[in-house]
């Protein structure tokens, strides 16, 4: 059953725009680089399904922009079809949801530049989906709720960046923190899912906390009292054969306050926070001795049995017994096992 919040009686304006720009659109199609298997009829059908309602929305807002919007959405969809991300066997089926449920909420932005808006959001979803399917789902949900409040293209990109971080793409954390501070509070609150709770002051405190500790949970109230415990917060990486980065079981070191995983002759920077974790390949391969269990680091100690002692906290995790290496950057403890292709992350979190 359709839950389309934007029911439209017809595609009259869309059809009028198609008729007016028929030659232009046909020439765009002819001049595009399409694979041999490309089916024009499939594309046309999807163009009508996805772009038609959006053009009608643009026509309601600004009739004189209808043709421009049609051309922009045509180019955008053609690019996605040519790349295979849309079509009868799409690489990313969720893109249709983006076009059907998220883009209609950005009608004001579509009026100003339909091509850029649809293209940027589509590319964004594709990128986030490369991280994980769950991330894509979460990103799409966040964007659907935040987009109606966005007033400009620049703001849309910033919102997309913050949403990407919140969806688990840890490499965007640093830039997203900066953007989050600049966005209007109403949008930040939406992205944080605070509903009607939270205040700008609390957000400001949260941002400052995140600079020091990436594992602080984004709660709309500060819990009192604050109780901390050590807990496993994630795992990063997997065997290359399973789409992961590591050819050999990795080992970890800490250098310049960064966690580096080394597998063979290659190295990856390990990034983790309350929203997710990632391994980013780096060209710099540290030449440093690995810390093994029972060797003490500056702040943490790990025993062969899997007992972790970190300041005044300690925990026993038998699954981490017999570690091959461990390293700590001050906020995150990374542990590797000799027979595993994962890097396990432990942090001091509020329980």
Partner 1 sequence: MFKQNLHHVSQAPTNPQSEQVEAAFDVADLYRGPVPVSIAEGSKALPLDEKFRQAYFWIVNHAIISPFYDIEYNDGPPQKFPLGDRKDPVVLPSGQSYCSFVLLPLLTFAVRAKCLLVGGPGRGKTSSAVLMGILAGYSLRDVRRAIQKGQPQMTVADLLGSPLPADLVKAESIDQIGIAWRKWLGMRVKIIDEYNRIPTRTQSALLTLMSDNYAELYDQTFDCPDSAWYLTANDDAGGGTYQVIEALRDRIDIVVKALHFNSRFLRELLERIESGVRPEEVMPSEIIFSEDEWTRLHTAIRRVPLPDPILRRLEFFASQFEYLEAAAAQFEYKTKDTVKLAALDWHQVTSQETGKDKLKDLGSQTRNGLSVRALMTTLVFVKALAYFRGAKQVELEDLRQILPFVLHDKLIQDPDCPFFELGENQAFRSDKIGWIRKMFDLACGEYDRLQLDSDDPVLKLSDQFNEGLDGLGERDVRKRLVEIERAVKKWSGSRKFYGHQYDDVLKLKYLHQRYSNYLRWLKWKDGDPE
Binding footprint of partner 1 on the chain (CB under 8 A): 20-21, 23-24, 62-65, 67-68, 71-72, 75-76, 79-80, 82-83, 85, 111-113, 115-116, 118-120, 122-124, 126-128, 152-154, 157-158, 160-161, 164, 169, 171-172, 174-175
CB nearer to partner 1: pick between 79 and 286: 79
d(CA 154, CA 113): 12
CB nearer to partner 1: pick between 162 and 333: 162
d(CA 177, CA 193): 16
Query: Residues 153, 113: contact at Cβ < 8 Å?
Result: yes
Query: Residues 132, 237: contact at Cβ < 8 Å?
Result: no
Query: Residues 250, 261: contact at Cβ < 8 Å?
Result: yes
CB nearer to partner 1: pick between 148 and 171: 171
Give me the helix-helix angle, 107-131 and 153-166, nearest 10°: 30
Kindly give, in sequence order, each residue whose CB lies less than 8 Å from that of residue 321, ignoring residues fewer than 6 positions away.
304, 305, 306
| Nearest Cα residue to 263 out of 251, 277, 281 | 251
Smallest distance from the beta carbon of 311 to partner 1, in angstroms? 31
Smallest distance from the beta carbon of 76 to partner 1, in angstroms? 5
Smallest distance from the beta carbon of 26 to partner 1, in angstroms? 12
Smallest distance from the beta carbon of 82 to partner 1, in angstroms? 7
Order of strands, edge to edge, in the sheet holding 307-310? 300-302, 307-310, 313-316
CB nearer to partner 1: pick between 117 and 335: 117
Smallest distance from the beta carbon of 163 to partner 1, in angstroms? 10
CB nearer to partner 1: pick between 11 and 120: 120
CB nearer to partner 1: pick between 164 and 230: 164
Three-state DSSP class for residue 260: strand
Three-state DSSP class for residue 346: strand
Does an H or E element contain 276, and which? Answer: strand 276-282
CB nearer to partner 1: pick between 74 and 326: 74
CB nearer to partner 1: pick between 165 and 310: 165
Smallest distance from the beta carbon of 180 to partner 1, in angstroms? 13
Smallest distance from the beta carbon of 125 to partner 1, in angstroms? 9
The C-alpha angle 197, 201, 207, rounded to 5 degrees, equals: 95
CB nearer to partner 1: pick between 12 and 174: 174
Q: What one-character DSSP code corresponds to residue 341?
A: S
Smallest distance from the beta carbon of 58 to partner 1, in angstroms? 12
The C-alpha angle 136, 137, 140, rounded to 5 degrees, equals: 80
d(CA 100, CA 107): 12
Give me the helix-helix angle, 200-212 and 185-192, nearest 10°: 60
d(CA 61, CA 277): 41
| Nearest Cα residue to 50 out of 32, 73, 19 | 73
Smallest distance from the beta carbon of 293 to partner 1, in angstroms? 33
């Amino acid at each position: 059953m359709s839950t389309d919040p934007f029911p439209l009686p017809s595609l009259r304006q869309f059809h009028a725009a198609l008729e007016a720009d028929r030659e232009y659109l046909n020439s765009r199609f002819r001049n595009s680089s399409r694979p041999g298997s490309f089916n024009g009829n499939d594309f046309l059908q999807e163009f009508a399904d996805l772009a038609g309602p959006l053009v009608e929305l643009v026509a309601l807002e600004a009739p004189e922009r209808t043709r421009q919007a049609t051309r922009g959405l045509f180019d955008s969809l053609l690019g996605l079809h040519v790349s295979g991300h849309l079509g009868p066997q799409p690489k990313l089926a969720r893109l249709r949801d983006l076009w059907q449920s998220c883009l209609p909420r950005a009608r004001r932005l579509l009026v100003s530049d339909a091509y850029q808006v649809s293209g940027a959001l589509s590319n964004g979803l594709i990128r986030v989906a490369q991280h994980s399917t769950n991330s894509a789902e979460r990103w799409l949900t966040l964007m659907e709720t935040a987009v109606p409040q966005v007033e400009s293209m620049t703001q849309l990109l910033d919102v997309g960046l913050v949403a990407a971080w919140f969806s688990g793409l840890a490499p965007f954390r640093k830039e997203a923190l900066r953007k989050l501070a600049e966005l209007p509070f109403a949008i930040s609150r939406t992205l944080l899912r605070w509903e009607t709770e939270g205040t700008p002051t609390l957000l400001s405190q949260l941002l400052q906390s995140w600079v020091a500790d990436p594992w602080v949970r984004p709660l709309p109230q500060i819990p009192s009292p604050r109780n901390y415990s050590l807990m496993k917060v994630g795992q990063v990486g997997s065997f290359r054969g399973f789409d992961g980065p590591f050819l050999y079981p990795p080992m970890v070191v800490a250098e310049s306050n960064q966690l580096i995983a080394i597998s063979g002759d290659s190295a990856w920077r390990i990034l983790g926070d309350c929203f997710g974790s990632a391994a980013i390949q780096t060209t710099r391969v540290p030449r440093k001795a690995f810390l093994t269990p029972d060797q003490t680091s500056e702040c943490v100690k790990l025993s062969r049995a899997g007992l972790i002692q970190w300041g005044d906290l300690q925990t026993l995790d038998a699954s981490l017994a017999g570690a091959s290496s461990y390293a700590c950057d001050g906020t995150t403890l990374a542990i590797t096992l000799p027979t595993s292709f994962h890097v396990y992350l432990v942090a001091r979190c509020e329980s």
